Structure 1
Amino acid sequence: MYRDLGYYWLRFVIYIALCLCVGTIYYDIGHDYGSIQARGSMLMFVAAFLTFMAIGGFPSFVEDMKTFGRERLNGHYGVVTFVIGNTVSSIPYLALISIVPGAMAYYLVGLQKSFQHFAYFALVLFVCMMLVESLMMMVASIVPDFLMGIITGAGIQGVMMLNGGFFRLPRDLPKPMWRYPMYYIAFHKYANQGFYKNEFLGLTFPNTQAGGPPTISGEEILRDVWQVEMGYSKWVDLAILFGMVIIYRVLFLVIIKFAEKMKPKVKVFFSRLTTRATRVIDPPPAASLL
């Protein structure tokens, strides 16, 4: 990972550029009524599109899987060792990407100034990138082709983004499929709600709507504007995201184990089919039958 520039270093540079763009576009958005929508849009971009960039490491994931396949056949290490090693090795790079570019975007925009709020922001960004990497590792273990893997991973994330509660508010999502269960499966739901709770709780904004009170609290914004579930704290959202990371990594391990056991059986099955087809196409000569 350290030697491969495309694995994390190029992404680190791109993240810095993107976060500088976000920070300058939303620079010092203030606390007027219009900043409510601006804050929500900025946080959604971080939760959705910054984490989406993790698919850029897919070519390196594919090469990792090829290297693992060769070394596994040589008996150097097992599947569990590979999954744990890959996870632990990626943590310092993802932490670096979360903290440095994240701080640029966070403080340029002028979100809540306390260190606790920034630490939560960086933690959610870190966990979301780990989730996307886990998803792409699963895709790489199933679809080793580079182009097909990128398309598959991007498609899965696109569906999750649409159900994250920003492009379509939770109560407006069609219930049979998109509200139940897709809204609760998409990690963007928990990332968005964690970001919103972290930012809006404790703030007050002037209310420009006619006939309303002079100010509107952050809790009212969460409940009425963004339709956030207020029955639990932002730390529960973060805990759910961590749990999803564990589930994704366990699924990655199970997929590798399953593929390892099924590949020999598939090869035997296709070899038998080939042998039978050859016998039908090329029957033995009549003299040999006598």
Structure 2
Amino acid sequence: MSEKDSESAPDSIFRNDVIRSFSWSNINVQVRDRRTKQSLKLLDSCDGYVEAGQLVALMGPSGSGKTTLLNVLAHRSQTPWTGEIKANTVSVGKEDLRQISGYVEQEDALTGSLTVRETIDFSAKLALHGLSASTRCAIVQNLVDSFGLNRQEHTIIGTPLRKGISGGQKRRVSVASQLVTSPNVLFLDEPTSGLDSAASFNVMQFISSVAKKHGLVIIASIHQPATTTFQLFDQLLLLAKGRTCYFGPVQEVSDYFNSIVPMPLHTNPAEFLLDLVNTDFDSTAADQSGPRLAAICDLWSTSQMYKTLQSAVSTAPTKTIEPIFKTSRLGHPSRPDIPLILLHRSFIKSYRDVLAYGTRVAMYIGLAIMMGTVWLRLDYTQASIQPFVNALFFGGAFMSFMAVAYVPSIIEDIHTLRKEHANGLYGPLSFVIANFLVGLPWLLLITLAFSIIVYWLSNFRDTAGGFWIWVLWLFLDLVAAESLVVLLSAIFPIFVVALAATAFANGLWMSVGGFLVPMGTLNVFWKYAFHYIDYQAYVFQAMMVNQFKDTIYDCDRVNDGGYYCMYPSDLQNQGKTRGTAVLDAYNYSYEDGKMWEWLGIMLGIIVGYRILGYVAMWFRLRRN
């Protein structure tokens, strides 16, 4: 990239004319205490006014309402709230705010198998459209340099099986990934968590310089910053027990609080203020708030600074108009190239993340060797009929069951989707399309590796057509199983719950598939409620037809010179039995058109799972 590109890159993604001010008034959050059943205020009449280019520190003791207020301001609160939020004097709703804002959560939601540079670069690709590759590359490099990540830029974030960067470095990557999306309002929840004092200062110094240079509004909750870091902020909002103790310039903090409690010389102002409003360990408190805290809050509500703040907030019109906020980003979630970008990212993850597919490939190959040697070279006598049937059931059912190994990977992807959707980058449809497409080649590879070993070792029907029909149905089995995992993980995006739900579902499909309990014995409820939507049932019966439709088995010879055939057929007098007699015993139709009918049903089940997975994600994302 050229030096010119590098110097001009940051100016190409921020629009200085989008946000001039950001304010909130009379924010209240009230819940019911689970223990006492009494009403409990998490936030009590909070107000604020921030101008473009300012960096606001949101401080307070644990439980003061910092994260609650941050979530309300970003329209991400799960708890009902009242009040008004404005941008450029306009009441702004959730969808409009997401187009102009970014949010860095306290817990990093990063794709562990991507490198530092790839993480930031994919955020840029998703958010920015129309920039040249060299310009985007310059933007990413600028952020990598500014956040002190040069040495780690080609190191992966980290997975359970592969060590990556440190927790503090992950925080820097999270902030950089949001800055690269060109937000005009940026919410940071504990951005310096896990960083030492030097790293905290450098990160906040860069964020402050970006805010001032490009007119960003940045609101950051922060816990006990060092003095040098604290002085980088322009405004301070001090909360305690959900009430405002101070909102105003950082430079005026000492003068304001000296009139209440003199601040000792050479004291970190942030530490002093937190100690001052923290009543958790105040044994002299007469009530829940403490008399000192009540006095501080009352003094603020009668101060001149409070009146000035009220004036700034109230002078803005309250009517809602059609805003121009959606032009703030150079990209848009409905861009047609979004699925391709997600597909590229998912492909990188798929071959780097051992838990996603690598472990499953090794596991299925091991299972194939085990199965092929247990059911080794079965002969075509009637004694082998039941082992053949058992092998068909075991192969399809156990392959499907082991799709539970995909749960941790898809849970991570869903958490990433939630974060990036909340930041207005893309929706669940693009995610579902990319997730489906990236899995197909891997599932085909697993199917082929398993089939090449098992099919010939176990001596299934010795024709090319028989082999490829087996491959087709086993592939569809794995696609359906993975689609079920995606659906259940979308409904229950918690690892242990999704794992248990997937295991239970597979147990159900095995029970009603028609092998463990024959269709003539299976009771009506389970038959009509679940059997006909059981994808494992269609896989099993298709494999049964493939194996037994055109094969013949030798019967046992008895003492009188005759033959005993377990499945009588027209060849019994010749000491043989047709495989179709086995199919008749299981009530499986082997008409030529039936295989196509089952194939259509199987594809319908797969599509249905994916659509339901999309709907589940859509409903969950609407609540965020």
Query: Same fold judged by TM-score > 0.5?
Result: yes
State yes or no: 1:194 paired with 2:542. Answer: yes
Q: Using the TM superposition, give the Cα deviation of residue 257 of structure 1 relative to its aligned residue in structure 2, in angstroms.
A: 1.4
Give the corresponding residue for 1:268: none
**One-letter amino acid of the structure 1 residue matched with residue 506 of structure 2:** Q
Q: Distance in 1 between matches of 2:458 and 2:375?
A: 5
CA–CA distance in structure 2, aligned partners of residues 113 and 216 of structure 1: 18
Q: Give me the whole-angstrom Cα distance separating, in 2, the residues matched to 1:239 and 1:207.
A: 36
* CA offsets 1:68-106 (integer angstroms, 9 cap, x no match): 111112222221111010000011100000001221001
Selected match of 1:16 from 355, 365, 368: 365
User: How many Å apart are 1:138 and its aligned residue?
Assistant: 1.2
Residue from 444, 452, 458 that aligns with 1:103: 452
Question: Which whole-Å CA distance do the structure 2 matches of 1:92 and 1:234 have between them?
Answer: 24
Q: What is the identity, as a one-letter code, of the residue corresponding to 1:108? A: L
Residue 227, structure 1, aligned to residue 591, structure 2: no
Moved more, 119-128 or 80-89: 119-128
State whether residues 198 and 234 of structure 1, in contact with CA within 8 Å, keep that contact through their aligned partners in structure 2.
no
Cα pair 2:375 2:387 within 8 Å, conserved: yes
Give me the whole-angstrom Cα distance separating, in 2, the residues matched to 1:56 and 1:30.
34
Q: What does residue 39 of structure 1 align with?
A: 388
Residue aligning to 1:183: 531
Aligned to 2:299: none
Instruction: Tell me which residue corresponds to 1:115.
Output: 464
More displaced, 134-143 or 189-198?
Answer: 134-143
Does residue 432 of structure 2 align to residue 83 of structure 1?
yes
CA–CA separation in structure 2 for the residues paired with 1:235 and 1:24: 32
**Among 57, 64, 85, the residue aligned to 2:406:** 57
State the aligned residue count: 261
Higher mean C-alpha displacement, 250-259 vs 83-92: 250-259
Moved over 6 A (4+): none
Whether 1:238 aligns to 2:599 is yes
Q: What secondary structure does 2:514 align onto?
A: coil
User: What's the C-alpha RMSD, in Å, of the aligned pairs?
Assistant: 1.5
The farther-off stretch of 16-25 and 235-244 is: 235-244
Partner of 2:78: none
1:144 lines up with 2:506 in the alignment: no
8 Å CA contact retained: 1:26, 1:38:
yes
| CA distance in 2 between partners of 1:57 and 1:74 (Å) | 26
* 8 Å Cα contact 1:141/1:255 also seen in 2: yes
1:215 aligned residue: 576
* Structure 2 CA distance for aligned equivalents of residues 135 and 148 of structure 1: 14
Could you tell me which residue of structure 1 aligns to residue 503 of structure 2? 154
Give the whole-Å Cα distance in 1 for the aligned partners of 2:589 and 2:531.
Answer: 13
What one-letter code is carried by the residue in structure 1 that aligns with 2:424? G
| Gap regions ≥5 residues in structure 1 | 265-290
Structure 2 CA distance for aligned equivalents of residues 167 and 112 of structure 1? 23
The structure richer in helix per residue is 1
1:208-247 CA-partner distances (Å, limit 9, x unpaired): 36485222111111012x2213454323322321221111
% identical aligned pairs = 29
- Is 2:7 the partner of 1:7? no
- After superposition, the C-alpha distances for 1:33-79 in whole angstroms (9 at most, x for unaligned) are 01110110001011101111011110111001011111112222221
Please give the alpha-carbon distance, in whole angstroms, between the structure 1 residues aligned to 2:506 and 2:416.
Answer: 26
Q: Which runs of 5+ in 2 are unaligned?
A: 1-349, 557-562
2:523 maps to amino acid:
P
TM-score norm. by structure 2 comes to: 0.41
Match of 2:608 in 1: 247
- For the 8 Å contact 1:191–1:238, the answer to whether it is kept is no
Letter in 1 for 2:604: G
Counterpart of 1:165 (choices 509, 514, 517) is: 514
Higher Cα Rg, which structure: 2
User: Equivalents in 1 of 2:620, 2:500: separation in Å?
Assistant: 21
